[in-house]
Chain A
């Protein structure tokens, strides 16, 4: 987490020598090399799967590999053009998770088709769809990079984003169940063949709003209230926004019958409140509030009770409500340390293995080692986001990068913790891994924002307009700079 000594130093240098050729390396070559390495991994994954499943190398995997290589080649060129100073690790990390996801979906398609067929249902392969969604998502990423030349312009539309995010968050909950219910949770909008999870986009919009809101009202929250057990409590009248966020979270929990969306929303808001105020009292108050609300929800709603019961002891009803959790544990346990090898296990035994539980499939076939490595890739991605937040000079950028990075890690924690019985299971998707367009699209928009902020952080100061952040902030950065 340490800030490299060169970052601020080089910025100062360039301020004194405007117009000269930037000495800061763009690191696009590093990105390309890493993408090449990731491509190699993905090719290996496809070859192993094909060999394990059909004892031959099927020609169709060439289509997937070629499509994948072209898509990320284009994405790399776009980053070169629109965000030349962007962090070189962010895109390769996303590409790696995304590529493994397509390979795993390709591996899961034949057994899932067989299961669907035996139940008399149809099945359409998830892997080709995921490749197409990857293309669309990368297009969206490029569009964001192209349209938004400076992330600070986003702060002007804070309230618009907030309203849109709120509507998207609550919309599936108030729509009739016929177009919003899947497996008991109201998280969807299904119109004909198109089904989207608006909650995925709502997360990003709400982070944009909260960042903009907190930047403009930041002073208010830092005024100290009374002290209580060593904590500096905020003044009661400043509690408004937190209470509103809490109310929204509980409302979403109630109407969508799903813990995941409200956990994501509330957790991220709390983290950003802390980032803006540096007061841990906000976090504690928030946690207590949410626990209280969730406890009441647990008493009132059976779907939450079921999830909690499955968490406490899934084996109590191993053939009923606990089935999915038990199968997930079997899958992970059967994988063991080294895994069954790609295509060598039976992850298809776990229900909804290709979306919410896809992490179990990786745990079974790549083992603890493989899954741990993938978690590290997630962490690397989130840490590079945070690092961009540390390096960028404006408050909005810091809050935005911090919020996005925290959200990514928070979602991974809730998803992987859920399938491995660390915490009660939720209906969230694993970013970049789960099959589904909404999740992928939203994830790449987040990647685009992080690329944009990291580009701003590393871009030589001279080519930038003067920062509009409060003057006081600049000195804060210097004071807090590590030695």
Chain B
């Protein structure tokens, strides 16, 4: 019986050979295909064992970094001033992925970006752990601190965005209420899960970046866009009194009425008529509705899109929700849209961009949060260069100067705290109704401004949702203006 035993032994060896041949195919020849398959979660998990790069502010202060630990994950992500910067940095969770800059610049931070390739090659040769690159933001801590303090002092829900008009650099981006990203980077999965559950269940939506992701009716701040359209197309000029000063008008084709704030007649009228300048100065609704009617739907939409409204693919590099003027189906809708109501909805970032464009003489700069990509040793690899937004200037220098003059007048009639004699501000407020019962719902308070008016260094947009601490009585000037001025003052005081 030994002959068949040997044959069986031979069969067993053939089985072993088949196994080894197949394993050679799987583990040697095809190994990279399997190892690098996008659904193979190992590559993601490996990143957690690598030192992730830092996120630093424009002045170099560390906002997020990874510190060495003794546990299996090797590094712990730490966010200093977590809630203040959370809308910008986002979080970096091993379970729930990343958001904000952590996500947008992930390939730099985790060291896989091709921009870092030369460094990684030398790392391979010198045998060091390939560390991630660093990201320097455009955010200025002085502006950010002031904006965050202003919003949180009275527990406002809303957002602040500050932009440097000449470059598009985002100097501040605040969204409140905010959240602490630190527990989401915890090495304890239970902590991560508890935190995300709490954030998801919170009706105040602290994880929502209101600056980029929330679109709200801009109210009277939208008059800047309507005025730009009217002046650019020659529909009207700045000072001819040809717009109604009436406290109330009836919308064309309907019996619906539209009124000025507190049912006032627009001041400084002559024969019941006011100019565009006066209408901006006192924020007269009836005049601007009529002006929007004169401008017409197509011109208004065209002008809005030159300011960036309607752009669906804006990234800074955080993605920004598209703002819109709505479909404007009829003249009544056009009248309402003229005062930033109806279906007009802007993100705070978009409204800041409108102010910054006017401040920059009509040239809209592409907004940007990242100033520099730095190597692991903090030497610069690539630097952000200012870019004009595509499509040419939104308005001419001439029109921009005229609107700037109107905004300076408007600021003089705007109340609220924080006015400083040595800083001239150009601004526009907004008090936007919303909801199903607009007259009994606390309005959103807006304030867009730039300063110094004659050499603009900073443009801001502040929105305080649902009246802030003033309820139904809230206005842009009483609630939002103070936060905006505090941000401007802090930035300019620092010599920004």
Q: Chain A: interface secondary structure? A: helix
Q: Is A346 at the interface (CB under 8 A from chain B)?
A: yes
Q: Is the CB of B193 within 8 A of A118?
A: yes
A293 sits at the interface (CB 8 A): no
Report if B114 contacts A (CB, 8 A): no
Chain B residue numbers with a CB within 8 Å of A475 are none
> What separation, in Å, do the CA atoms of A477 and B2 have in the docked complex?
7
Task: Answer yes or no: A341 CB below 8 A from chain B CBs.
Answer: no
> Which positions 1-36 of chain B face chain A at CB distance < 8 Å?
1-13, 15-16, 18-20, 22-24, 26-28, 30-35
Contacts of B11 in A (CB 8 A): 271, 406
Residues of A within 8 A of B1 (CB): 275-276, 278, 395, 398-399, 402, 473, 476-477, 480
Contact at A386–B9, with CB atoms within 8 Å?
yes
Contact across chains for B27 and A386 when beta carbons are under 8 A apart:
no
Contact partner, A363, options B7, B15, B23, Cβ 8 Å: B23
A335 and B12 in contact, given A275-B1, A276-B1, A330-B40 (Cβ under 8 angstroms): no
List residues of B (70-85) whose CB comes within 8 Å of A's CBs: 70-72
State the Cβ distance, A97 to closest chain B Cβ, in Å.
15
Interface string of A292-335 (1 = CB under 8 A from B): 00000000000000000000000000110000001001101111
A39-47, A364-372, A448-456: which lies at the B interface?
Answer: A364-372
Given A480-B2, A480-B3, are A55 and B19 also a contact pair (CB < 8 Å)? no
The answer to whether A333 touches B35, judged by C-beta atoms less than 8 angstroms apart, is yes
> Chain A contacts of B16 at CB under 8 A?
375-376, 379, 409, 413
Q: Contacts of A274 on B, CB cut-off 8 Å? A: 4, 7-8
Distance between B93 CB and nearest chain A CB, rounded to angstroms: 13
Expressed in whole angstroms, the Cα–Cα distance for A368 and B189 within the complex equals 32
B35 A375 Cβ-Cβ under 8 A: no
Picked from A326, A395, A405, the residue with its CB within 8 Å of the CB of B39 is A326
Are B19 and A413 in contact (CB-based, < 8 A)?
yes
Query: B2–A368 contact, CB under 8 A?
Result: no
Instruction: Please give, as numbers and ranges, the residues of chain A lying within 8 Å of B20 by CB-CB distance.
Output: 372, 375
| A83 within 8 Å of B (CB atoms) | no
Selected from A53, A330, A398, the residue in CB contact (under 8 A) with B34 is A330
Residues on B with beta carbons closer than 8 Å to the beta carbon of A336 = 27-28, 31, 35
A399 to B30, CA, bound (A): 40
**Is there a chain B Cβ closer than 8 Å to A389's Cβ?**
yes
Do the beta carbons of A417 and B8 come within 8 Å of each other?
no
A477 to B7, CA, bound (A): 15
Q: Does B470 contact A (CB under 8 A)?
A: no
| Count of residues in B whose CB is under 8 Å from the partner chain | 42
In the complex, what's the smallest C-beta–C-beta distance from B6 to chain A, in angstroms? 5
Q: How many angstroms between the C-alpha atoms of A405 and B15 in the bound complex?
A: 13
How far, in angstroms, from A275 to B2 measured CA to CA in the complex? Answer: 8
- Beta-carbon contacts under 8 Å, A373-393 to B: 375-376, 379, 382-383, 386, 389-390
Residue on B nearest A278 in the bound complex, by CB: B4
Name the contact of A1 in the complex, choosing from B6, B27, B71, B193 (C-beta under 8 A): B6
Separation of A330 and B11 alpha carbons in the complex (Å): 29
**B155 within 8 Å of A by Cβ?**
no
B12/A383 in contact, CB under 8 A: yes
Chain A residues near B6 (CB, 8 Å)?
Answer: 1, 390
Residues of A within 8 A of B5 (CB): 275, 386, 389-390, 398, 402
Closest approach, in angstroms, between the C-beta of B10 and any C-beta of chain A? 8
Q: Is B327 an interface residue (CB 8 A)?
A: no
Residue ID in chain A nearest B7 by CB atoms: A274
**B41 contacts partner chain A, Cβ-Cβ < 8 Å:** yes
Query: Separation in Å of the A300 CB from the closest CB of chain B?
Result: 29
A residues near B27, Cβ cutoff 8 Å: 332-333, 335-337, 363, 367-368, 371
Residues of B within 8 A of A410 (CB): 15
CB distance from B36 to the nearest CB of A (A): 9
B61 CB–A CB distance under 8 Å: no
Tell me, in angstroms, the Cα distance from A47 to B9 when the chains sit together.
37
User: How many angstroms between the C-alpha atoms of A274 and B7 in the bound complex?
Assistant: 10
Residue A422 CB within 8 A of the other chain: yes
A251 within 8 A of B: no
A3 to B16, CA, bound (A): 21
A332 touches B2 (CB 8 A): no
Question: Contacting B37 at CB < 8 Å: which of A1, A330, A402, A412?
Answer: A330
Q: A53-B72, A346-B45 are in contact. Are A318 and B33 (CB under 8 A)?
A: no
Residues in B with CB closer than 8 Å to A372 are 20, 23
Say yes or no: is B42 at the interface (Cβ < 8 Å to chain A).
yes
Residue of B nearest to A395 (CB): B1
Give the Cβ gap from A450 to chain B, nearest Cβ, in Å: 14
- List which B156-186 residues lie within 8 A (CB) of chain A: none
Q: Mark B302-326, 1 if CB is under 8 A from A, else 0.
A: 0000000000000000000000000
Residue with the greatest number of chain A CB neighbours at <10 A, chosen from B5, B20, B34, B40: B5
Say if the beta carbon of A421 comes within 8 Å of chain B.
yes
Given the complex, which residues of B lie within 8 Å of A238, measured CB to CB?
none
Q: Does A67 contact B (CB under 8 A)?
A: no
Most buried by B among A318, A368, A405: A368
Contact yes or no, B23 A332, CB < 8 A = yes
Report yes or no: B31 in contact with A386, Cβ–Cβ below 8 A: no
Residues of chain A in range 333-377 having any CB-CB distance to chain B below 8 Å? 333-337, 345-346, 349, 363, 367-368, 371-372, 375-376
Of all chain B residues, the one with the shortest Cβ separation from A408 is B12
Query: What is the minimal beta-carbon distance from B427 to any residue of chain A, in angstroms?
Result: 51
Q: Per a CB cutoff under 8 Å, which of B7, B12, B32 touches A333? A: B32
Given A375-B19, A395-B1, A405-B12, A346 and B30 contact (CB-CB distance below 8 Å): no
Cβ-based interface call for A457 (8 A): no
Residues of chain B contacted by A383 (CB below 8 angstroms): 9, 12
Report A54-79 residues with CB < 8 Å from chain B CB: 54-55
Complex Cα distance, B15 from A382, in Å, reads 12
Q: How far is the CA of A336 from the CA of B26 in the complex (A)?
A: 8
B495 to chain A, nearest CB (A): 47
User: Which of these, B8, B24, B26, B34, contacts A406 with CB under 8 Å?
Assistant: B8
Considering residues B16, B20, B27, B37, which has the most beta carbons from chain A within 10 angstroms of its beta carbon? B27
Nearest chain A CB to B24 CB, angstrom units: 7
Q: A53-B72, A363-B23 are in contact. Are A334 and B12 (CB under 8 A)?
A: no
Q: B35 contacts which of A1, A334, A412, A417 (Cβ < 8 Å)?
A: A334
Q: Given A276-B1, A336-B27, A386-B8: A417 and B34 within 8 A (CB)?
A: no
Q: Are B42 and A409 closer than 8 Å at their CB atoms?
A: no
Chain A, Cβ-Cβ closest to B45:
A346
- For the complex, what is the distance from the CA of A346 to the CA of B72, rounded to whole Å? 13
User: What are 22 A-B interface contacts by the 8 Å CB criterion?
Assistant: A275-B1, A278-B1, A278-B3, A318-B39, A319-B39, A329-B26, A329-B34, A333-B26, A333-B32, A333-B35, A333-B37, A334-B31, A336-B28, A346-B45, A368-B28, A379-B12, A410-B15, A412-B15, A413-B19, A417-B18, A422-B18, A422-B22
Kindly list the 9 A-B residue pairs having the minimum CB-CB distance in the complex, ordered from nearest: A333-B34, A368-B27, A422-B22, A413-B15, A409-B12, A330-B40, A336-B31, A334-B35, A333-B31
Contacts A117-B189, A349-B42, A405-B8 supplied; 13 other A-B pairs, CB < 8 Å:
A330-B35, A333-B33, A337-B31, A345-B42, A346-B42, A371-B27, A375-B19, A375-B20, A406-B12, A413-B19, A420-B22, A477-B1, A481-B2
